[in-house]
Amino acid sequence: MAIFDTKYTNDIIKECDTFKKSNSIEQIRYGCAIGAIHSAFAIPKVIPITHCGPGCAQKQVTSISFYNGFQGGGYGGGSVLPSSNINEKEVVFGGEKRLKELIESAFKVLKADLFVVMTGCIPDIVGDDVGAVVGEFQKKGLPIVYAETGGFKGNNFTGHEILTKAIIDQYVGDYDGPKEQGLVNVWSLLPYHNTFWKGDLTEIKRILEGIGLKVNILFGNKSNGVSEWKNIKNAQFNLVLSPWLGLKTAEHLKEKYGQPYLHVPTIPIGAKETSGFLRKVVEFAGLDKSKAEKFIEDERKEYYNYLEGFSDFYAEYFWGLPAKFAVVGDSAYNLAVTKFLVNQLGIIPARHIITDNPPEKYRNLIINEYKNIAEDVSIDVEFEEDSYIIHEKLRKTDFGNKPPIIFGTTWERDLVMELKGYIVEIGFPASYEVVLSKSYVGYRGALTLLEKIFTTTVSASA
């Protein structure tokens, strides 16, 4: 018979209890602040320079832009990224010299319209004066800025707004001249983290131009790169199209350039939301209403022409379609998809879990949006980052007698099999989606989302 040391056993139990209370997160759904390198190389011809430990940037890229729609890195991301790869020597003696050598080499070897030095945890902790190093190059008139994005400062949503402020303050600069009527800066989806951001921003730019605006979309294939960023200061107003991301940037621009901003919390999907959104913008910007209405009506007509044929399927195939749904994902897509499914399709909401850890000061705003999803629909939304807890909540959700449809991520695939339901991946990580230009927003994106939803349900039922 074995003899156990009870003191040793009790110590292990205490350690386990401590671990349970340590707020560790299973199956994370965002990156750390330096993950905002994606926001940098989402701007055409911009290259981030990472001042961090070995593997920091590579891990962010592998997760956020590879196992998330297999988006790739484009011109300035992926394997292009220069990194100082600092180690024990730099921890002890500082990494400023190494960073200076890296920047000099980057200017010699790489061609970029703007370089952005972004820091990891090590240099921020040991106190490297990155501003002084970068300042030497800025004094020479070279296009370079820096953003202190150590992981302990927050996730990649936080890093994104640190980055945008850095470019605005250090590169765009001060300005107190006239504004251009009809020019808008758009602050919306988080590049790369949102799996469908490229197509979504393209559609957002298209519909805003359709009502008569000139659009600085700032990120993605339709951006003009740093020249567009230089033009930020000339805009009539800023448009924040998200529940909270971009509000901090818009407040900064209001203070810096005196620009007003319009905040629309729900990214529009479908004719109802998109038409309502565009009319809000028309009113705020003082645009020609007759021109805008013609564009809106033309888009609505085309949208409902497509739905006319779809309605036959939707009416006749009711026995095989889900009746209830849950959404697990960042606040922007969670809110947008929920409103679309409730108002356009009449599917019953069962559970809504937001995973991007919005700042506390914005949470009541988000909660109120869910309280008013429709005239007769109010939803209690939850904020949770830990996949273990999220999945336990979904297991306990009443989805009725039909298979549920879960709008989530790759992390939900095994659970959906367990629940005998359907899954549509709408956010990070999405490793069962290959994304080039797909969009789920606006008029056209809504049609793509409908195709995705019901192709998934029909094929799974076959």
* Per-residue pLDDT band at 3 (split at 50, 70, 90): very low
Same domain flag for 135 and 199: no
Q: Is residue 12 part of a domain?
A: no
pLDDT number for residue 55: 86
- In this predicted model, what pLDDT tens digit does every residue of 363-406 receive, in sequence order? 999 999 999 998 889 999 999 999 999 999 999 999 998 999 99
Average pLDDT value for the chain: 92
284 Cβ contact list (under 8 Å, min separation 6): 237, 262
Same domain flag for 190 and 163: no
Give pairs for 142-145: CB < 8 Å, separation 24+. 142/107, 143/112, 143/113, 143/114, 143/115, 143/171, 143/226, 144/103, 144/114, 144/115, 144/116, 144/117, 145/114, 145/115, 145/116, 145/117, 145/170, 145/171
* Per-residue pLDDT band at 262 (split at 50, 70, 90): very high
| Per-residue DSSP letter, 26 | S
Distances (CA, A) of 105 to 35, 130, 132, 257, 443: 23, 16, 18, 35, 46
pLDDT number for residue 11: 44
* Per-residue pLDDT band at 462 (split at 50, 70, 90): low
Same domain flag for 40 and 87: yes
pLDDT number for residue 319: 64
- In this predicted model, what pLDDT tens digit does every residue of 94-136 receive, in sequence order? 789 999 999 999 999 999 999 999 999 888 988 999 999 999 9
Q: Tokens standing for 325?
A: 């749904």
- In this predicted model, what pLDDT tens digit does every residue of 23-46 receive, in sequence order? 678 898 999 999 999 999 999 999
User: Does pLDDT of 2 surpass 70?
Assistant: no
User: Does pLDDT of 21 surpass 80?
Assistant: no
User: Does pLDDT of 12 surpass 80?
Assistant: no
Number of domains in the chain: 3
283: Cα separation from own chain's centroid: 27
- In this predicted model, what pLDDT tens digit does every residue of 311-351 receive, in sequence order? 888 888 766 788 899 999 999 999 999 999 999 989 999 99
Rounded distance, CA 166 to CA 153, Å? 15
163 Cβ contact list (under 8 Å, min separation 6): 36, 39, 40, 116, 118, 147, 149
Same domain flag for 42 and 143: yes
Please count the CA atoms within 13 angstroms of the CA of 182 that sit on its side-chain side: 9
Same domain flag for 165 and 186: no
Q: Is residue 341 part of a domain?
A: yes
Last residue of a domain, one of 133, 149, 172: 172
Q: Is residue 454 part of a domain?
A: yes
* Per-residue pLDDT band at 204 (split at 50, 70, 90): very high
Q: Is residue 386 part of a domain?
A: yes
Q: Is residue 60 part of a domain?
A: yes
User: Does pLDDT of 162 surpass 70?
Assistant: yes
Residues of the domain holding 228? 180-289
Range 447-455 average pLDDT: 95
Same domain flag for 204 and 160: no
pLDDT number for residue 23: 67
- In this predicted model, what pLDDT tens digit does every residue of 225-244 receive, in sequence order? 999 999 999 999 999 999 99
- In this predicted model, what pLDDT tens digit does every residue of 70-105 receive, in sequence order? 999 889 998 889 999 888 777 766 789 999 999 999
pLDDT number for residue 419: 95
CATH number for the domain spanning 121: value is 3.40.50.1980
Q: Is residue 358 part of a domain?
A: yes
